[in-house]
Amino acid sequence: MSEEPFFGYETEQDRDAAVKKLETFLKEIELNEFENNLEYINKLNFVTSNMKREILQEVDLRNLAICFKFSTTAFLKKFFDGLSSSLKQEILYGLQGKYTVGEVIKTLDDFVKYLKRKEADGSLILDEKSDKYV
């Protein structure tokens, strides 16, 4: 019997249950950082198409898929809005992959550092209430 393809978690509760499974592998400090990184990535809901295009040009799609592994279906649909079908397919293909806990944590850490750098230099706005323009 084959597994169903993974297209994100249907609900926040489903995602939270998956995160809970990781608790057995992570120390408390690592777990808090992991959860904070997931929350930070959810801020991508507020990026413009130009910001999204820049992210897609600068970040490896496999790494993006790893970072989206704990995302909800609603988040993925919103992020995929306006993307070409080939980009969507490549990210969705990456979501099907199996990754080690260490690889997921490192990739998330690196991606969040990248987002924070972009936010600090003003080329990325992740606050829905911001009145800044890019």
Dmax over CA atoms of the chain, in Å, equals 51
- The pLDDT assigned to 115 comes to 94
Q: Which residue has the higher pLDDT, 116 or 17?
A: 116
Give me the domains of the chain, ranges plus CATH numbers.
12-120 (1.10.220)
Average pLDDT in the 81-107 region?
92
Length of the chain: 134
Which segment of 13-22, 24-33, 68-77, 110-119 scores lowest on mean pLDDT? 24-33
| 134 confidence band (pLDDT: 50, 70, 90) | very low
Q: Which parts of 3-134 are beta strand (E)? A: none
Q: Which parts of 14-57 are beta strand (E)? A: none
Task: For residue 43, give the nearest of 19, 10, 13, 67 by alpha carbon.
Answer: 67
CA 11 to chain centre: 15
Average pLDDT in the 82-95 region?
94
Q: 19 pLDDT exceeds 80?
A: no
- The pLDDT assigned to 124 comes to 84
Task: For residue 107, give the nearest of 80, 69, 73, 74 by alpha carbon.
Answer: 69
Judge residue 43's burial from the number of C-beta atoms within 10 Å of its C-beta, 0-12 exposed, 13-18 middle, 19 or more buried. middle
CA 22 to chain centre: 17
The reported pTM is 0.76
